[in-house]
Amino acid sequence: MRELPTTRSCPFGPPDGAADEPMTKVRLDTGDEIWFVSRHDLVRQVYGDARFSSEIDGGSHGVPLHRTEPIPGMFIQMDPPRHTRLRRLVTGRFTVQRMKALRPRIEQIVADQLDHLAAQPRPADLVTHFALPIPSLVICELLGVPYAERERFQRAGAELMRMDTTAEQSDAALLDLSAYLVELLRRPPGPGLLADMIGTGLTEEELVGLAVLLLVAGHETTANVLALGTLALLEHPAQLELVREGKAPDAVDELLRWLSVVDVGLYRLATEPVEIGGRQVAAGEFVTSSLGAANRDPSVCERPQELDVTRPRTHHLAFGFGAHQCLGQNLARMELDIAFPALLRRLPELRLAVPLSSVPFRDQMAIYGVHRLEVTW
């Protein structure tokens, strides 16, 4: 039995061998033997089937997969009806209409951050001075978290995303972030979603869990798409020009599909026997997938291995699928849709300042991307 695919020979593609078989058994480094799915239709089936539970933990930090009681408020780990109750409380804050109302403010944040980046000595780290601050500022304003206190939640969030730490280190990071958020909620927070959630019947524990989820997920994913996407465009100059010139209205979705920064590691537990792709998953067995491999399935689009920013939007799975599909996808799309062309127009001579082989990729993180991206112009 082979190991779970994790090694990438191409920094923009899914792990090597992820698409070799539509569905097979693999072994985790914890010793767990689980099902691994990579075909687009089968991945959709797994994440769209309520017989697969999300109320599990482990699979990283050396902890075997197991059924667990979800952390209060952390609805990404919950099944209905608990998941439904919490998600409904915040869904209305992330509608397309609400996101459009935020567009002028996000455009201003991007413009301000470009001024900051342009003033840096060269070479400059695009992650530190552009890709990370933009979604951090946006999610802080949306939630009512002071941006001046970002170092504490960013440090804890980054630790929680690591897959090469111990369970004790991960727990310590969660406790640190939770303690900060308890302090914030008792102040109380500034105007925003968290302040609005006070008085809705949520316990303090639920409010903290909800805040952890929205705060970390709200900036980690978008920041990594923005940094890794910029690198991908720099490595594909013809595609970069199309984005700069505004000739690729669906470029963001193509980059989301092609990069798939959230890839392997979304685990599910079969609560009863389920047939997937002609294979029988027994009750009590675990399943994971490669969203990156699924997004490059030939059924998704023609020439799926190629980056083509003029490609019409596809039915990609970069935001997941089913009940747990990314709540903030409208916000993420808009931030990226504003930031990519603004960056490329403001700095038309933007280029890598180091060889591609020297770029430090986030190979040991739950959300893929780059740790740093040294650029000049």
Q: How far apart are CA 162 and CA 171, in angstroms?
A: 12
Tokens of 251: 């470029």
> Is residue 10 assigned to a domain?
no
Q: What is the pLDDT of residues 244-289, one digit of tens each?
A: 999 999 999 999 999 999 999 899 999 999 999 999 999 999 999 9
The residues facing 191 across adjacent strands are none
Element (H, E) at 53: strand 52-53
Residues 6+ apart with CB under 8 A from 120: 129
Which amino acid belongs to residue 216? V
Q: What is the pLDDT of residues 317-363, one digit of tens each?
A: 999 999 999 999 999 999 999 999 999 999 999 999 999 999 999 99
With b for 16 or more beta-carbon neighbours within 10 A and e for fewer, the 258-286 pattern comes to bbbbbbbbbbbbbbeebebeeeebeeebb
Q: How far apart are CA 197 and CA 73, in angstroms?
A: 12
Q: How far apart are CA 369 and CA 218, in angstroms?
A: 15
> Is residue 227 assigned to a domain?
yes
Mean pLDDT across 47-76: 92
Number of structural domains found in the chain = 1
Please provide the size of the chain in residues: 377
Task: Tell me whether strands 33-37 and 52-53 are parallel, antiparallel or unpaired.
Answer: unpaired
Determine the angle formed by the axes of helices 204-234 and 133-143, rounding to 10 degrees. 150
> Is residue 362 assigned to a domain?
yes
Q: How many helices (H) and strands (E) does the chain have?
A: 13, 12
Q: Is residue 130's pLDDT more than 90?
A: yes
CA-angle at 241, arms to 238 and 242, nearest 5°: 90
Do the Cβ atoms of 65 and 56 come closer than 8 Å? Answer: yes
Q: How far apart are CA 121 and CA 51, in angstroms?
A: 54
The pLDDT value given to residue 58: 82
Mean pLDDT across 45-70: 92
DSSP state of 15: P
Q: Which domain holds residue 241?
A: 23-371
Edge-to-edge strand list for the sheet holding 286-289: 23-27, 33-37, 286-289, 268-270, 52-53
> Is residue 330 assigned to a domain?
yes
Number of neighbouring beta carbons within 10 Å of residue 42? 21
Q: Would you give the end-to-end CA distance of the chain in angstroms? A: 48
Q: What is the pLDDT of residues 146-183, one digit of tens each?
A: 999 988 888 888 888 888 788 888 889 999 999 999 99
> Is residue 13 assigned to a domain?
no
> Is residue 214 assigned to a domain?
yes
CATH number assigned to the domain comprising residue 209: 1.10.630.10
| For the chain, percent of residues with pLDDT exceeding 70 | 100
> Is residue 14 assigned to a domain?
no
> Is residue 103 assigned to a domain?
yes
Q: How far apart are CA 61 and CA 183, in angstroms?
A: 28
The rounded Cα 357 to chain-centroid distance in angstroms is: 24
